[in-house]
Structure formats: structure tokens, C-alpha cells
Amino acid sequence: MAEAAERETKRSEMLTLCLPSLSEDDPLFSQKKDLVHGSDLTFKFQVPVPSNREEVFHIFEQIVRSARILYLDEVELYFMEDDDYGPFSCRNELESLNTILLMISSLISCAKPDGLEVLQILQNATVAMINSVGAKYTDYMVAKDFPVDAKELLKWGDSCGIRTKLKIAYFEEAGRGAVASEDIKIGDIALEVPESLIISEEHVRESDMFDVLKELDDVSSETMLLLWSMKERRNSNSKFKIYFKTLPEKFKTGLTFGIDALAALEGTLLFEELLQAKEHLRQQYDALCPTLFAKYPKIFPPELYTWDCYLWACELWYSNGMKIVCSDGKLRTCLVPVAGLLNHSLCPHVLRYGRVNSETKSLKFLVSRHCGEGEQCYLSYGSLPGSHLITFYGFLPKGDNPYDVIPLDFDVPSAENDSSCQSGEPARTSHMVRGTWLSKSSKPHTYGLSPPLLAHLRSILRSSDIELHAEFHGQDEETERAVLDTLISVFSPMLEGLGDTNEIDRENPSWDVKLALDYKDLLRRIICSVLDSCAAGIRELDLSLVQH
């Protein structure tokens, strides 16, 4: 008591902590703003100095909640349940906590003793929370050996100014990957690549093919890069000779799925997407390459511009390309030697790497969570669903991927959408479901489904004289049954449409058939979880009917 009174009289100052404010450029700006206001949160915090640990922890909780909102992405926001303050995903958690850490670090150097004590409590709490995010992710791959070609790449990189705390190992599940050669602490640079080693459209401009390509209509810089890489790959005088030498001769992505793997995917959206993507690339190739090597055989030698070579280049850029803001401020798709060896994880170490530092003229890969010596250092390829990862990268990540969603499009009844029906087509509204095991809500009548989907279905299915509610209200039981029946009527045929894959040899499947089967299993698991949740919802309604 006396201690508290003494602290109160000593309190003359306030420590102000500011998170970055919401950006109006954020497409989710207004939704996030509403969330912040609705939850009585803010991005500016005043901490009385001195404060005791409980007081600081109370404010810390508010700071974390606000930061999580700041970094919500579209899927996370869509599935956010009532009264859910997070965590929402590993990515969101690491982005939020690292921003908090930066905010604290910027204040520590000029803080007075009482303020410093508060900041240190906050810093320790943030680091502990980041460590606990990493500790929950235990799905480690085991390094098998250290490939010779990768050592050669690192040696070349070192001679060209690449600085790294990583070495390259081979993993059965993912091919090559990067491993920490020493402990890498939060905020440390795991890898630094000079801008001069980053492969971008600038290299096409410097090459002999640019004079031809610039005269052609409709050739995007992405296509130019494909054409450039097809030739550079075999150029014995290339500055990037070692880089190209260490790339796989064959990539294994959805774009090179064989006929059996495609057959195993029948009944899924991914099946259509893969066929369309490959068809699109084939059309691009046919429209461009035969003309180029017929007209300019010296610049575009036919043997380097086959369809297989074109597909190889597409797979290279899709699976290794990174969006980078270069020192001239332009956003480009680039290949970054050595960084291209980092594998993806749902709980990555490296999240923020998209901008060349204009002072050092280098791209720095800082870790957002601790990476212990010998541990694989993962990158985030983005918040991507399994279907995208299969198509462009050829794998499904381990663990629960919060971005694995099944889209659901509904026609909007005309009364609900008068203005957008001018085309004569019924307007559509898009929703999603994901595995209901990801839901944290224990509230009745939420079924592990997203609030916007339930609100939409309740609004279109509600019995005529009942007022519209986003949430279930006891009396509207008829609507509730209709919602659950509708979902069952959508998802039961979807499950049947996936067919039976039991007759496919699961003992010794090829890499692509295995991936196709794993993907179908994932879809089945999601759909079954929705059906189970709906069935449980109906049982609950039956029970409450009996009880009343």
C-alpha cells in the first residue's frame, strides 16, 4: 500500500508509445478502423512513470491487440470471430510483436531511469511472446547433408559481397534449405545480398535481346525475364554462371504435374486452375518463341527456346521470384541468389525483406524470431493457400495453414443488391470456409464458421417477419436450421465430387500423385469439418427444442 502511494506521488511523467497508425492505402483500412474503435483500442499509449509490472502488463496487452489489428490480412479479418483479440496467425503475431519491439527500441536509448524500467519490462514481455510463437512450431525438418553445389554458390556469393549467417543443407522434404551456422537473434541479419547481385529486368535491358524485344508489342518485363533466363542459363560467360549452375535441372511444381496427378485432382478447383494455367503458358509460348527463333536465330537459338525450356523458366520465376523495391524506388520481380534457397514455413523466421536499403545498397534478411544454430531458417513466401503453393511451388506446408480456404459464391437476391444488377446477371457475393478446427469460439451457434458467412445466410434465409441479426437469437430457430441445411446441401455434394481415391496406389506414388492426394485429403478434411460442425449445430437445436 505504502509502495503504491509513494509511486503515485512520484508519478509526474507519462511515457508515450506510438504504433504506426493505420494507413489509408491499406485496402482494409475502414474495417480495421471500425475494429479499433469498436474494441476501444488505440495506436497511441500513455504509460505513467513509474508503473508496476501489473500496470505495464495491462497496457502491453492493449498494445498487442492493436498491433494485431494493424497487421490483419484479408483472410484473417474475414474469419475473425466476435470478441477474438488473437493470436490470428503466426505471421500476424510475428509482424505485430516485431513492430512493438522496434517501437520500444527506438525509445530505450533516450529514456530516463523510471521510463527505462517500464520499457525493459515491455521489451522482455515482447521477446518472451515472440519466443513462445516459435516454440509452438515444432515441425522441424532434419538436415541430411550439405550439398557441394550449394557450398560453391556460397563461396561465389562471399566473393561478390554476400554476407550470411546461414549455410545450405539438404532436406528430404524440401530439397535444399538454409540452416543457421550460429545463433541468430531477433532483429539480426541472417543474410545480406548486394543489390548488384539481384537479378531483375535491368539485366534484360543490358543484353543483346533487348533491342529486339523493345520493338515488340505486348511483351511484358516478366516475359522478357523468362526469355533472358532461358539463354543466360546456358551462357558460360554469365556473371551469374554459378547461380544458374546450382539451380535444379527440373522443377517439380503443379505446372509439371503428370497425367496421373491431374487425374487424382479431378473434382477440385485446382484441377481446372492447373489446366488453365498450363494452357495459358502454352499459348504465350506459341505466340512468341517460334517467331523469335525463326526471325532472330542468333539471338534466340531454337535449342534454348523449346517449350520445356520455357516451362523451366516459368517455374524458376514462380518458385524463386521475389517482389523487391529496388534502390530507385521501383517494385520489381527479382531473383536473389542464396535467398532463393530459403524454404517456406507457416511460422517463418524472415518476414520483412522487400526493400533494398538505399544506404548500404543491399537487401537485408532480418529474422523476426530467434533461429538457433543448426536450425532451418525459413522465409515467408506470403499468406498463401495450399492450391497456390502446389501450382507455383510444388509443395504443401506442414501444419495448419490458416489460408487454406474454400471459396463460396452466392447469388445476391435483387432486393439486397439493387444497384449492381444493371448487367442483368445476378450479383454475387463471395464468402469462404476453412477447417472449423481453426475456430476458437466456444459460443453457441457459431459452428466454427465465419461471422460474415453466417450473417449472409441468416439474412437471406431468415423467416420473413423476424428482424435481421448477425448473431443468433434464440427465437430464430427456423432460420438457424435453414442456414445449417443450406450449408450441408452445398458441402455434401462437394465431398462426393471429390470421388474416391482409394484405388490409386498410395504405397509408392510419384511426387506429383502424392501431392495431389495430400491436397485432396486436405480438402476432404476441411469439408468434413464443416459438415460435422453443421450436424452438431442441428443436434444442438434439436436438444434445445426438446428442453423447451
Q: Give the footprint of ligand SAM on this chain (CB under 6 A).
A: 173-177, 248, 319-320, 340-341, 343-345, 393-395, 397
Residue showing the smallest CB distance to ligand SAM in the complex: 175
What is the closest distance, in whole angstroms, from the C-beta atom of residue 311 to ligand SAM in the complex?
Answer: 14
CB-count exposure of residue 95 (10 Å: 0-12, 13-18, 19+): buried
Grid cell, residue 480, equals: 438457424
Bond into 147 cis (ω within 30): no
86 SS3 class: coil
Shorter beta-carbon distance to ligand SAM: residue 149 or 496: 149
Shorter beta-carbon distance to ligand SAM: residue 107 or 341: 341
CB-based contacts of 115, cutoff 8 Å, min separation 6: 13, 15, 49, 107
Shorter beta-carbon distance to ligand SAM: residue 49 or 351: 351
- Check if the beta carbon of residue 79 is closer than 8 Å to that of residue 438: yes
CB-based contacts of 62, cutoff 8 Å, min separation 6: 41, 42, 45
What is the closest distance, in whole angstroms, from the C-beta atom of residue 147 to ligand SAM in the complex?
Answer: 9
How far is the CA of 226 from the CAs of 85, 218, 288, 310, in angstroms?
Answer: 44, 14, 12, 7
Shorter beta-carbon distance to ligand SAM: residue 176 or 462: 176
What is the closest distance, in whole angstroms, from the C-beta atom of residue 174 to ligand SAM in the complex?
Answer: 3
CB-based contacts of 92, cutoff 8 Å, min separation 6: 68, 71, 72, 73, 76, 86
Grid cell, residue 470, equals: 448477425
What is the closest distance, in whole angstroms, from the C-beta atom of residue 346 to ligand SAM in the complex?
Answer: 8
What is the closest distance, in whole angstroms, from the C-beta atom of residue 207 to ligand SAM in the complex?
Answer: 24
State how far the Cα of 242 lies from the Cα of 230, in Å rounded to an integer: 15
What is the closest distance, in whole angstroms, from the C-beta atom of residue 336 to ligand SAM in the complex?
Answer: 9
State how far the Cα of 430 lies from the Cα of 412, in Å rounded to an integer: 10
Shorter beta-carbon distance to ligand SAM: residue 51 or 319: 319
State how far the Cα of 316 lies from the Cα of 125, in Å rounded to an integer: 41
Shorter beta-carbon distance to ligand SAM: residue 65 or 344: 344
What is the closest distance, in whole angstroms, from the C-beta atom of residue 225 to ligand SAM in the complex?
Answer: 16
Shorter beta-carbon distance to ligand SAM: residue 109 or 138: 138
